[in-house]
């Protein structure tokens, strides 16, 4: 019996809110989602992924957040290059719980920024963006301000999905230095731990 695209995507999202995708699904299923993203880009006239769930504005916000969570630097590519936003959009398009958690979370972020700064997250100055993300990055902040609860849940979930999208991509696997189940003749052991400066 063949497995449909929808079956594969649903297997990625079985425990939408409870945890990171990689805690529940096999790497092969995540790789399948990445292949679907590549196929969608290849089929597009401009070779650019067209979001399947998020509006253009919310997708740009998602991209900005993924870039903040795993930025590129001189040593490695980041979440954008690895296709994490596309991965997240694709699996969200197939799962109602993700749609509520992520769509609602992005709207919460924009509305909260409008209340605090008079503009959406993307229109905020970098220091304002950092300020709001610092507030929703830590669960302890909900004790001081319960209105941050939805934002904290959303951002924690988005961080897990961004990491999953990154580390299951070709770029993420290369970054980890994973070479697969290959035979090695000898194992040299772990490198020595550098001595601490006293």
Give tens-digit pLDDT for 75-115: 889 999 999 999 999 988 888 889 999 999 999 999 999 99
Question: Residue 2 pLDDT > 50, yes or no?
Answer: no
pLDDT-derived band at 197 (thresholds 50, 70, 90) equals low
Q: What is the dihedral sign for C-alpha 180, 182, 184, 187? A: positive
DSSP-derived 3-state class of residue 133: helix
Percentages helix, strand, coil for the chain, rounded to the nearest 5?
A: 60, 0, 40
Q: What is the number of other CB atoms lying within 10 angstroms of the CB of residue 129?
A: 19
pTM of the model: 0.79
Two tokens, residue 94: 């197939």
Determine the pLDDT at residue 185.
63
Backbone angles phi, psi at 27, to 5 degrees: -55, -35
Cα-based distances in Å from 176 to 18, 22, 85, 130: 25, 15, 20, 28
CA angle 81, 87, 89 (to 5 degrees): 115
Q: Are 81 and 91 in contact (CB under 8 A)?
A: no
């Amino acid at each position: 019996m063949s497995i449909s695209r929808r079956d594969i995507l649903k297997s990625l999202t079985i425990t939408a809110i409870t945890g990171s995708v990689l805690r529940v699904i096999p790497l092969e299923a995540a790789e399948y989602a990445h292949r679907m993203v590549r196929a969608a880009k290849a089929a597009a006239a401009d070779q650019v992924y067209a979001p399947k769930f998020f509006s253009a504005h919310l997708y740009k916000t998602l991209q900005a957040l993924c870039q903040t969570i795993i930025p590129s630097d001189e040593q490695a590519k980041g979440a954008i290059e690895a296709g994490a936003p596309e991965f997240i959009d694709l699996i969200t398009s197939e799962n109602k719980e993700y749609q509520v958690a992520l769509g609602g979370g992005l709207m919460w972020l924009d509305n909260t920024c409008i209340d605090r700064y008079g503009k959406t997250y993307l229109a905020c100055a970098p220091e304002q963006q950092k300020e709001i993300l610092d507030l929703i990055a830590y669960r302890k902040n909900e004790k001081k301000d319960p209105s941050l609860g939805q934002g904290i849940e959303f951002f924690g979930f988005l961080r897990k999905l961004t990491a999953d999208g990154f580390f299951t991509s070709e770029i993420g696997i290369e970054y980890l230095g994973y070479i697969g189940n290959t035979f090695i003749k000898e194992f040299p052991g772990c490198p020595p731990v550098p001595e601490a400066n006293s």
